[in-house]
Amino acid sequence: MSFLPAVSLFSGSGIGNVGLCVAGITFVVANELLEDRAALLALNLPEAEVIPGDIWEKLDQIIERTGARLQKEKVSELFLLLATPPCQGMSANGLGKLLNNARKGLRPKLDPRNRLIIPALKFAQVHRPRWVVFENVVQMKNTLIEDEDRQLTKIVDLIPRYLGDEYVGRYYEVEFADYGLPQRRQRLITVYTRDNEAIESYRNNVELIPEPTHDSKGRLGRHPWVTVRKALTEFPPLDGKGPESASDLVMPFHRVPVLDPKKYEWISHTSEGCSAFDNQCVNPKCRFQNNPTHGAVRGKDGINRAKQSTPLYCVKCGTLLPRPYVAESNGKLRIMSGYTSAYKRMPWDMPASTLTRNLSYPSSDHTLHPSENRVLSIAEALKLQSISNYEYKWGPVRVRGKQYVVVPDTLITDCIGESVPPIFTELLGRHLLQVATSKAHDLYLQPKQLAFTVMREET
């Protein structure tokens, strides 16, 4: 097997890196801010030197250690830089207003986390990797930051400025369901290369990311999207009513939180694809089914907010509806504030909605199982994010002085929600090798069987 060295920045727990490793790429250095993620990163990328800490403070060390590792391995260049900066500060909201105010001399308030792409680009300037890949939310394409001269610029416009004319590339808005992931998950994948043959192919309409393998309706000879039903059909049933029914003793990670009685009641009356906010009357003497449903209204400030006028009591018989509510200090009940996607079941015959770090909370977006009274289990989330298709370890690790055989469930769900699905990164890595120079082709001798094939619709 060839040695194709890569560096990973903002690596999280390294889940996305695993797909690239299966494709034949070896990470030699990786950086992650958070200690618990860095511990999992080191466990799952054993060949990488993991440098934990703030990238602004660690940049010189990352650059130096990368050079040392390349020298040790007797390779002349870095094959890939993968950077997935944090997305919490990314937003397309108010872009025009920000620019307009800046022209008037009014400095906008910008999230400093968005400038974390600058040290990544500084690294690329030094080591000149053959490929540079950024992954982030789609909003990155319109996110403004201050450059090193304190001038406002879009992040995506800053990238070619740092890389220079030697590199060619662009960003892609990617739907991961189009690559066999049983989940709707949109991300911005930005790819630049200085590989001559890849540049020539790109100029002949060969894109820098792989062609989609799936389509919502199976058009263009592609496979249909992988549905929740297809992905989760073999999981044993669970129920969030009590401890005994909320966990499977045989299947690892197939467990869910126990719901409090109120939430269980709301969820138990919720139909597939619907929200508990829209539940109808369950009074056996009434069962009126035309109570107004929930929704959102746009205020004068332009922000959508959940309606407060949604009835909590049946308009026909006055019985309390099984809808999410809170009790005020005077004992009066009112409809719960929140997004209309809260307490909502996933449909069986579509990919899941985007999994977030809050995937174990019924009050978060689209987290309820399509038919069972519970949220998704960790095992199901691992499947929907394609992680269970790969060899990924959740322990043993030592974090903040404590030894874990398996890390806590809260950390696992955080890592799932933050990760890049390895089903895509494996395909991306193989594609980069396919369009790279003949030298890279010669180095990549015996590709492994694609791990993602078990997710295809025909299996």
What is the per-residue pLDDT for 450?
39
- What angle separates helix 155-163 from helix 117-127, to the nearest 10 degrees? 20
Using one digit for the tens of pLDDT, what is the confidence trace for 304-335? 666 778 999 999 999 999 999 999 989 899 99
Half-sphere exposure in the Cβ direction for 212 (13 Å, CA): 22
Amino acid (one-letter) located at 180: G
CA nearest to 459, candidates 208, 271, 451: 451
Question: How many other C-beta atoms are found inside a 10 Å radius of the C-beta of residue 93?
Answer: 11
Query: What pLDDT is stored for residue 121 in this prediction?
Result: 97
How much is the pLDDT for 416? 98
Tell me how far apart the alpha carbons of residues 127 and 151 are, in angstroms, rounded to a whole number.
26
Would you put residue 342 in left (φ > 0), alpha (ψ -120 to 50) or beta? Answer: beta
Tens-binned pLDDT, residue by residue, of the chain (459 aa): 478 999 999 999 999 999 999 999 999 999 999 999 999 999 999 999 999 999 999 999 999 999 999 999 999 999 999 999 876 655 444 445 555 555 555 555 677 778 889 999 999 999 999 999 999 989 889 888 888 888 888 999 999 999 999 999 999 999 999 999 999 999 999 999 999 999 999 999 999 999 999 999 999 999 999 999 999 999 999 999 999 999 999 999 999 999 999 999 999 999 999 999 999 999 999 999 999 998 777 665 556 666 778 999 999 999 999 999 999 989 899 999 877 789 999 999 999 999 999 999 999 989 999 999 999 999 999 999 999 999 999 999 999 899 999 999 999 999 999 999 999 999 999 999 999 865 554 443 333 333 433 343 333
Domain limits, CATH 3.40.50.150, in the chain:
5-223+418-455
Contact 222, 215 (CB under 8 A): yes
The strand pairing partners of 305, in sequence order, are 297
Distance of alpha carbon 354 from its chain centroid, rounded? 7
H/E segment holding residue 39: helix 35-44
**Where does 248-324 show beta strands of DSSP type E?**
296-298, 304-306
Q: Does residue 232 sit in helix, strand or coil? A: helix
pTM of the model: 0.89
Strand ranges (E), 155-302: 168-175, 186-193, 214-215, 223-224, 296-298
Residue 167 backbone phi and psi in degrees, to 5: -100, 145
Report the DSSP pairing between strands 26-32 and 49-52.
parallel
In which residue are the tokens 């205020």 written? 299
pLDDT given for residue 1 in this prediction: 46
CA 56 – CA 271 distance, rounded (Å): 49
The set of residues, in sequence order, having a beta carbon less than 8 Å from that of 9 and lying 6+ positions away, is: 30, 31, 55, 62, 81, 82, 83, 84, 85, 119, 120, 123
User: What pLDDT is attached to residue 452?
Assistant: 38
The model's pLDDT over 353-382, given as tens digits with 9 standing for 90+, comes to 999 999 999 999 899 999 999 999 999 999
Q: Going by CATH, does the domain composed of 5-223+418-455 fall within 3.30.950.10?
A: no
Residues 6+ apart with CB under 8 A from 32: 10, 11, 12, 13, 38, 41, 50, 52
Residue 152 has a pLDDT of 86
The 3-state secondary structure of 315-384, one letter per residue: CCCCCECCCCEEECCCCCEEECCCCCCECEECCCCCCECCCCCCCCCCCCECCECCCCCCECCHHHHHHH
